[in-house]
Amino acid sequence: MPELSIIVPVYNVEKYLIKCIDSILQQTFTDFELILVNDGSTDNCGAICEEYSGKDSRVRVIHQKNHGVSAARNAALVIAQGTYVGFVDGDDWIEPDMFHKMYQAALKEKTDVVICGANYYENNGDFIRSDLVKEKRYDQKQLIKNLYGTPNPLGGTCWNKLFRRSKIGEIRFRENLTMAEDWVYLFECFKRCDSGIQLPVALYNVVERTDSVTRKNEVQAICDIVFGGKLKLLLLLGRAYSKEMERYATDKYLDDCIRYSNVLRDVAKETGQPYRRKVIKMRLQMLKVIPRAYIKRILPGKKIRGYIFEMLKK
């Protein structure tokens, strides 16, 4: 059995896929299986996956109809055999020593989760920023608490983490979610993990695709969150865990409302007046779901509360 299962969901990323797969197969850590899940791609991704499977025995390929990234990851989790599990997105790539460093940290610290920082790049390869973190150790309560905090390496994404499979092997992504699926999955995983460590190095490389199609898809995903009430999962899961986590969940809920609202504002500017009306409608709906009673409790005075709502309306 391999020590590590690396799961890559693949959907219409032909332009990026070869670089992604090469970065995995060229890892200094070699005892792994690579599970590529072709989620109904209409470009050449399926053929690329099969080509690599024929050249390297560590590569396993699943072909399925298009059901989304969560279904693709779940299909791979069913057949994963590694002691540890990691995720890579098909349009990103990783540093040559990523899994060596994370695996060694897992063994040395006897921990269930290892987290690293990330670099961010434009479509054209231009560097944007690095999200670096201090080395830090977490117990289970701290893992969940930090997941609810402001944007940080613990929250929102699976691709910069290595999990002990015996702890999270039965957990699956919620396939009915179009956004925040990583966050909900992480919440469930952290509830079963006893400890974690984050490394002070950026080992994962993210490609931020900002083409018009991606931006429109982003707005649709946010629309699903706002009108479908999926953002409220943050509150529901927090309440189910403890009163303390409910408070952290509400912090996260408010933070996400503001963040999504700012994204919609930017998209409205980029796409012009015809699209702007839809965005404004979505922003007004977003104001309705923010827990005002909570804002009054945590923000001192009408002036600061007014500033928050004015910022949302811009």
Q: What is the pLDDT of residue 255?
A: 66
The better pLDDT of the pair 241, 51 is held by 51
Distance, in Å, from the CA atom of 111 to the CA atom of 105, rounded to the nearest integer, reads 8
| CB atoms near residue 133 (< 10 Å) | 18
Q: What is the pLDDT of residue 225?
A: 55
Q: What is the pLDDT of residue 146?
A: 75
Task: Provide the sign of the torsion angle of the four alpha carbons 297, 299, 300, 304, taken in this order.
Answer: negative
Q: What is the pLDDT of residue 222?
A: 60
DSSP string covering 45-85: HHHHHHHHHHH-TTEEEEEE----HHHHHHHHHHH---SEE
Asked if residue 78 has pLDDT above 80, the reply is yes
| Of 48-52, 111-115, 244-248, minimum mean pLDDT range | 244-248
Amino acid symbol at 59: V
Q: In the structure, what pLDDT confidence band is assigned to residue 260 with cuts at 50, 70 and 90?
A: low
Indicate the domain borders of the chain. Answer: 4-208, 212-313
Can you give the pTM of this predicted structure? 0.79
pLDDT tens-place string over residues 271-293: 665 556 665 666 666 556 555 55
Residues 65, 162 contacting (CB under 8 angstroms): no
Asked if residue 227 has pLDDT above 70, the reply is no
pLDDT tens-place string over residues 121-135: 988 889 999 888 789
How high is the mean pLDDT of the chain? 81
Q: What is the pLDDT of residue 212?
A: 46
Asked if residue 70 has pLDDT above 50, the reply is yes
pLDDT tens-place string over residues 171-219: 999 888 766 678 788 888 998 999 999 999 999 999 987 654 455 555 6
Q: What are the beta bridge partners of residue 207?
A: 121
pLDDT tens-place string over residues 24-45: 999 999 999 999 999 999 999 9
* Domain 4-208 classification at class level: alpha beta
Taking residues 126-155, what's their average pLDDT?
78
